[in-house]
Amino acid sequence: MSALIDGIRKGRFAVFGRAGMDMFADPQGTKAEWAETFRADLGGSSANICAGLCKLGMDSALVTSVSDDAVGRFCTNKLRHYGVGTQYVKVIGGEYRVSLAVYESTMKDFQLCIYRNNAVDFQVTDEDVDRVDYAAFGALITAGTVFAAEPSRGSTFRAFENARKAGVPVIFDIDYRPYSWPSSEVAADVLSRAGDESDLIVGNDEEFGFMAGGIEKGLDKARELAARGKMVIYKMGQKGAVSLVDGQEIRTGIYPVTAVKPNGAGDSFMAGLLASIASGHNLRDAVLRGSACASIVVSKPGCAGAMPTTVELEEFLAGHPGPTRT
């Protein structure tokens, strides 16, 4: 476990997964089907994690593919805007396209439409992941969507091997999105393998339950993984989280806010968790700070742009009455 913590504390992360374009209805509260104006920003789970880490003072680089068009260039420019390294972003021509997410900033009948036809981020190859200088990073992070199709499934498992050879720990955000997978059976098998090969696993109760074959078995699955020497963060929404490490189960609450949308919380949690560990906080405090980051993001429109800076996180913590009790 010390190797995992030592790696995170270097504050340099290679992140595998997709970058996309977010378009959200403006002004806040407008339903997408009636919107006359949309705001555009960086999206995609892995890109959001990268942006969140950079805004919290860490270094991150995204390993992905983008389309050779205006939208692909938009995403690359936005990554640079947030300080994310783009040296491992490959541009691909043809019919492959960057993902597009269209949503709104209202919790009432919230709608999220994701377009992933011919998703370009699935086109990351073995050659692409072999170009990464793993020794330059303290940890590898991946979101589960990369495993939904080939060649990115096989190439990301190859990246895991490369990271292990370089002594770099692997961090896995389960991030199960059913629409990306050919079947639930394939997803359960592949995501379970990814969990087996990771050092830190983060997911919610539904995701662990899915891997275990039933939501009621989710916590047992998390405990099983932790018993094998892994650090596991088991999120339970409004009920907080259970962090399992070295035989301990640490329960933490959440920071209640008035949410304007549900998406982006998991990405912000991951960024806040890792940045806090890197900054020297113990695991309990790091999970709480990750939860605070999640609350900040759901209380604002957008995702990458809503990720807090360190100053904004500290101001939120200072002004909030505190987390719920577990």
Give the type of residue at 48: N
Residue 7 backbone phi and psi in degrees, to 5: -65, -45
Given a contact cutoff of 8 angstroms between Cβ atoms, the answer to whether 272 and 293 are in contact is yes
How far apart are alpha carbons 168 and 132 in whole angstroms? Answer: 12
The answer to whether residue 82 is domain-embedded is yes
- How does residue 127 score in pLDDT terms, banded at 50, 70 and 90? very high
pTM, two decimals, is: 0.97
What is the distance between the alpha carbons of residues 309 and 55, in angstroms, rounded to a whole number? 5
DSSP 197: T
Residue among 147, 211, 138 at smallest CA distance from 171 = 138
Q: What is the rounded CA–CA span in Å between residue 143 and residue 153?
A: 11
Task: Kindly state the average pLDDT of the residues 279-304.
Answer: 98
Q: How many structural domains comprise the chain?
A: 1
Residue at 63 is within a domain: yes
Cβ neighbours for 96, distance < 8 A, ≥ 6 positions apart = 65, 67, 118, 119, 120, 123
Asked, for residue 95, whether it belongs to a domain, the answer is: yes
In a domain, 177, yes or no: yes
Confidence of residue 142 (pLDDT cuts 50, 70, 90): very high
| 323 assigned to some structural domain | no
Look at residue 320 and tell me if it is in a domain. no
In a domain, 322, yes or no: no
Q: Could you report the per-residue pLDDT of 214-268, keeping only the tens digit for each?
A: 889 999 999 999 999 999 999 999 999 999 999 999 999 999 999 999 999 999 9
Pairing of strands 99-103, 112-115: antiparallel
Predicted confidence (pLDDT) per residue in 53-99, tens digit? 999 999 999 999 999 999 999 999 999 999 999 999 999 999 999 99
3-state secondary structure of 241: strand
SS3 for 42? strand
The answer to whether position 326 is within a domain reads no
Please state, in angstroms and rounded to a whole number, the distance separating the CA atoms of residues 304 and 228: 34
Segments forming the whole domain that contains residue 240: 2-315
For 3, 29, 128, 177, 305, the CA distances from 158, given in Å and listed in that order, are 20, 44, 10, 22, 32
Q: What is the CATH number of the domain that holds 218?
A: 3.40.1190.20
Q: What is the DSSP string of 84-149?
A: -B-TTEEEE-TT-B-EEEEE-S-STT--EEEE-TTBGGGG--HHHHHTS-GGG-SEEEEEGGGGGS
